Amino acid sequence: MNSAFIKGLSRGLFLCFIILLGFIFYYLYYSNYSKNNNDSADIGGDFELIGKEGQIYNQDDFLGKPLLIFFGFASCPDICPYGLTIISEVLDDLEADKNKFNSVFVTLDPERDDYAKITDFVNLFHSNIIGLSGSVEQIDNIAKNWRVYKKKVDFSGSELDYTIDHSAFIYLMNKNGKYHTHFSHNADAADIIEEISKLL
């Protein structure tokens, strides 16, 4: 084997290890939160972020409708595209009701993902998904309120230079902005549709 191949393999294995650690941390951290326990789950809160064409969004803009909210970043190689594909399937399957709930993707990489880039990214999956970005402080705030694990991981020598290790749950909030339940990024669209239908 040549040295370039071994070096690339080592970097790939290291990245997989970091991602695995992130998921282990997340499951341990959230073990006290059960699905559909919206009375005890302290998830959600105030935020102000930037979306399409520089429009400012805050938590009040999403009240009155159920909200699917997912966190990731545009350079994410697999988890984020997978989760966004699931959300797009939900939107397609609920075509008649797609305007009765909101779908949002928040970047965890504001240094690279401005509002224009994150909007272009989510539009690859579905035009009804709203992409949001903001300052590092704003993203740290919403990640904390939604209890999203994230960590910047050095990946120097690669094209990305760094990556973001993060939890990968899709949250469903009710019309009042309160936590209803959450799903893994690779959940069945049918399961998400069932829970959204309870809130419409």
**Structural domains counted in the chain:** 1
Nearest to 50 by CA among 141, 160, 130: 130
**Pairwise pLDDT comparison (98 vs 11), residue with the higher score:** 98
Residue 155 is predicted with a pLDDT of 82
Q: Specify the CATH number for the domain of residue 9.
A: 3.40.30.10
- In degrees to the nearest 10, what's the CA dihedral of 58, 61, 67, 70? -30
Average pLDDT value for residue range 103-124: 97
Contacts of the segment 127-131: beta carbons below 8 A, 24+ positions apart = 128/91, 128/98, 128/99, 128/103, 129/84, 129/87, 129/88, 129/91, 129/103, 129/104, 129/105, 130/51, 130/52, 130/57, 130/102, 130/103, 130/104, 130/105, 131/51, 131/52, 131/104, 131/105, 131/107
Residues 72-81, mean pLDDT to the nearest whole number = 95
Q: Tokens standing for 151?
A: 């960590």
Rounded average pLDDT over 36-55:
81
Quote the pLDDT of residue 76: 93
Full-model pTM: 0.81
Residue-level pLDDT at 39 = 47
For 11-35, the pLDDT digits (tens) are 555 555 555 555 544 444 444 444 4
Q: Which domain holds residue 151?
A: 3-199
